[in-house]
Amino acid sequence: MPPKTIPLEGYRGYPESEMLARTVDLLATMERRRSVRDFSDRDVPDRVIENCLRVACTAPSGANLQPWHFVVVRNPDVKSRIRVAAEAEERDFYERRAPKEWLEALAPLGTDTRKPFLETAPLLIVIFAQAYGITADGSRIKHYYVHESVGIAAGLLITALHLAGLVTLTHTPAPMKFLSEILERPDNERPFLLMPVGYPAEDARVPDVHRRAYEQNVDFV
């Protein structure tokens, strides 16, 4: 028996001139995206965050198994515990573990062990990758292309937040095991990204770094 199919109903095409106009517009918008570390404490409506997370969940995934889980942290005590744990890892990283070459690569970003944005931002989105799934009856099912799938979902989330007029940072304090403990996540889930989300501080500054020339990224053959 072939699998059940349904008509492709959601697809929308556009005349060429409109395709061009839409992509010019989208490109101009996306080129303005920056990773931000200076956050305002101004609150963000839950419904906006929910819609952005719904966008993330439209990502394609290995065997459509959707191997992600998102935790939205608004509780100030939980944010504070996450900051304390992240800064402890970062101290170990910057002061002991990081090879010189890595520290040199990070120098233009001006990052250090202090992560105040983990408390200032009104919310943190913690993305977990499910290494394997658990069915309703409690048995394990294999997941495929987990990092690719969750990475794509993260990209859609970053895009959605930007289009909503919010800023974020793809923060990866390593190791991130403390996130599983603080957020009491099950064994099949691994922390993937920690994203503070909100509005930029009024005096927000970003590193003077630039995207490389498009031509260096792409070949048409």
Q: Work out which of 122, 173, 191, 198 binds ligand IYR, going by CB under 6 A.
A: 173
Q: Work out which of 36, 53, 90, 156 binds ligand IYR, going by CB under 6 A.
A: 90
Number of residues in contact with ligand IYR, rule: CB under 6 A? Answer: 9
- Least separation in angstroms between residue 8's CB and ligand IYR is 39
Non-local (6+) Cβ contacts of 132 within 8 A are 140, 141, 142, 143, 188
Element (H, E) at 69: strand 68-73
Whose Cβ is closer to ligand IYR: residue 43's or residue 112's? Answer: 112
Segment near ligand IYR (CB under 6 A); pick from 64-72, 160-168, 170-178, 212-220: 170-178
Each residue 100-129 as x (binds ligand IYR by CB under 6 A) or -, in order, gives ------x--x-x------------------
Q: Is 107 helix (H, G, I), strand (E, B) or coil?
A: helix
Exposure on the CB side of residue 82, measured as CA atoms within 13 A? 34
Segment near ligand IYR (CB under 6 A); pick from 50-58, 76-84, 152-160, 168-176: 168-176
- Least separation in angstroms between residue 112's CB and ligand IYR is 7
Exposure on the CB side of residue 171, measured as CA atoms within 13 A? 30
Segment near ligand IYR (CB under 6 A); pick from 63-71, 160-168, 171-179, 198-206: 171-179
Whose Cβ is closer to ligand IYR: residue 111's or residue 120's? Answer: 111
Distance CA 115, CA 110 (A): 12
| Residue 171 engages ligand IYR in binding (rule: CB under 6 A) | yes
Q: Work out which of 172, 175, 181, 205 binds ligand IYR, going by CB under 6 A.
A: 172
As given in the structure block, the two tokens for residue 125 are 């989105």
Q: Alpha helices, DSSP H only, in the chain?
A: 16-31, 46-56, 76-92, 100-106, 117-120, 146-163, 177-182
| Residue 152 engages ligand IYR in binding (rule: CB under 6 A) | no
Element (H, E) at 142: strand 140-142
Q: Which of the residues 48 through 87 are near ligand IYR (CB under 6 A)?
A: none
Q: Which residues bind ligand IYR (CB under 6 A)?
A: 90, 93, 106, 109, 111, 171-174
